[in-house]
């Protein structure tokens, strides 16, 4: 069964999480060999509309593909074969502006009506898609993402070097991975850190990785370490007093899974997709209530070795092999 996978996010600018999903899922499908994966990507300089609406249908015909699978919401509307598309999140339903432009809204509205199947990574996002598009339940399927091997190994002696480089002590900071963006709610993390100290707890800096948006930089009080390698990020996860994941609009939240794989305690927004991913090992809080988040941080700082083992076990249930097997089953169903 030859299936074309649009891997253009690996070459064109896309959110880091989308790139991880494309690389992790397509790589696992190729290793398993149950589908004949045909990687398709746009030539340099070609616009996304021409690529998906003109060149991908031509490729489907020329290569004899049974269909096209896109790891974003946009997909070829014409041409031979079946279509599976992916909707990662609908942030505008949760009051966020990032990734909420008219094109994304249009594809989230029309895609579930035109594609054979829509894939989302959590039940929470699947509910959003059904609500927003009116799509029938059976056309929206959940395929949880996996965690990369970089976050699943044993502690590395070099972890101490990573912390020393940034002036951090083990268990002596709160981490917000990718927290330089407004949607990650860094202001809620700062307010919780202040509340924690007011309650007699330690004064812990809030560390953010990745680029920092101007409104976030204006907040002050954040320790910004910039872009880091996966190895350095794993070290930062593993030694954090708590990993704060307070965004309400995430469709999955790979940082929650990565942090759990490193054994780190995670504080997640109540009712969000990250809480679904973390399950019973997540520490749930209300991002709008600093006392609620501070209480969750206190619990994180008091966590035990057994809880660390439970967190790693939770993350181990999410593998790219499992994701690939679910995608294989979807294509078998469509082509039966």
Which of 291, 285, 249, 245 has the alpha carbon at shortest distance from 264?
A: 245
pLDDT at position 171: 94
pLDDT at position 45: 85
Instruction: Look at strands 117-120 and 174-176 and give their pairing.
Output: unpaired
Q: Which residue has the tokens 């790891």?
A: 71
Residues 157 and 131 in one domain: no
Residues 262 and 161 in one domain: yes
Residues 95 and 63 in one domain: yes
Residues 137 and 159 in one domain: no
Residues 140 and 235 in one domain: no
pLDDT at position 155: 63
Residues 271 and 329 in one domain: no
pLDDT at position 154: 63
Q: State the alpha helices, DSSP H only, in 65-213.
A: 102-114, 123-133, 159-165, 186-198
Query: Which range marks the domain in which residue 19 is found?
Result: 2-146+319-334
Residues 160 and 306 in one domain: yes
pLDDT at position 313: 97
Residues 11 and 65 in one domain: yes
Within the chain, what is the greatest distance between any pair of CA atoms? 68
Residues 106 and 129 in one domain: yes
Q: Torsion angle of alpha carbons 292, 298, 302, 306, nearest 10°?
A: 30
Residues 65 and 102 in one domain: yes
Residues of the chain whose pLDDT is less than 70?
Answer: 153-158
CATH of the domain at 93: 3.40.50.2000
pLDDT tens digits along 171-223: 999 999 999 999 999 999 999 999 999 999 999 999 999 999 998 988 888 99
Residues 312 and 324 in one domain: no
Residues 198 and 95 in one domain: no
Counted domains in the chain? 2
pLDDT at position 156: 66
């Amino acid at each position: 069964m030859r299936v074309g996978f649009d891997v253009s996010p690996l070459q064109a600018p896309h959110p880091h999480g989308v790139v991880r999903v494309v690389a992790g899922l397509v790589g696992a499908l190729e290793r398993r060999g149950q589908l004949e994966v045909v990687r398709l990507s746009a030539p340099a300089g070609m616009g996304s509309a021409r690529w998906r609406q003109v060149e991908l249908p031509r490729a489907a015909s020329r290569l004899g593909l049974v269909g096209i699978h896109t790891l974003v919401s946009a997909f070829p509307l014409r041409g031979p074969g079946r279509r599976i598309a992916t909707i990662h999140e609908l942030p505008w339903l949760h009051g966020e502006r990032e990734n909420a432009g008219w094109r994304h809204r249009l594809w989230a509205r029309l895609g579930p009506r035109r594609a054979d199947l829509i894939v989302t990574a959590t039940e929470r996002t699947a509910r959003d898609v059904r609500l927003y598009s009116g799509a029938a339940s059976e056309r929206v399927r959940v395929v949880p993402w996996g965690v990369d091997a970089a976050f699943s190994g044993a502690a590395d002696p070099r972890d101490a070097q990573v912390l020393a480089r940034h002036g951090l002590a083990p268990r002596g900071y709160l981490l917000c991975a990718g927290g330089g963006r407004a949607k990650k709610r860094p202001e809620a993390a700062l307010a919780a850190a202040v509340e924690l100290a007011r309650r007699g707890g330690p004064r812990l800096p809030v560390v953010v990785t990745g680029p920092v948006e101007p409104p976030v930089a204006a907040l002050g009080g954040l320790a910004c370490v910039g872009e880091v390698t996966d190895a350095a990020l794993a070290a930062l996860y593993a030694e954090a007093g708590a990993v704060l994941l307070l965004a309400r609009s995430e469709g999955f939240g790979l940082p929650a899974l990565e942090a759990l794989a490193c054994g780190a305690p995670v504080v997640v927004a109540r009712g969000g997709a990250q809480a679904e991913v973390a399950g019973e090992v997540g520490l749930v809080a209300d991002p709008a209530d600093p006392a609620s988040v501070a209480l969750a941080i206190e619990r994180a700082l008091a966590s035990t070795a057994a809880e660390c083992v439970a967190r790693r076990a939770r993350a181990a249930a999410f593998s790219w092999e499992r994701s690939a097997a679910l995608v294989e089953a979807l294509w078998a169903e469509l082509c039966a």
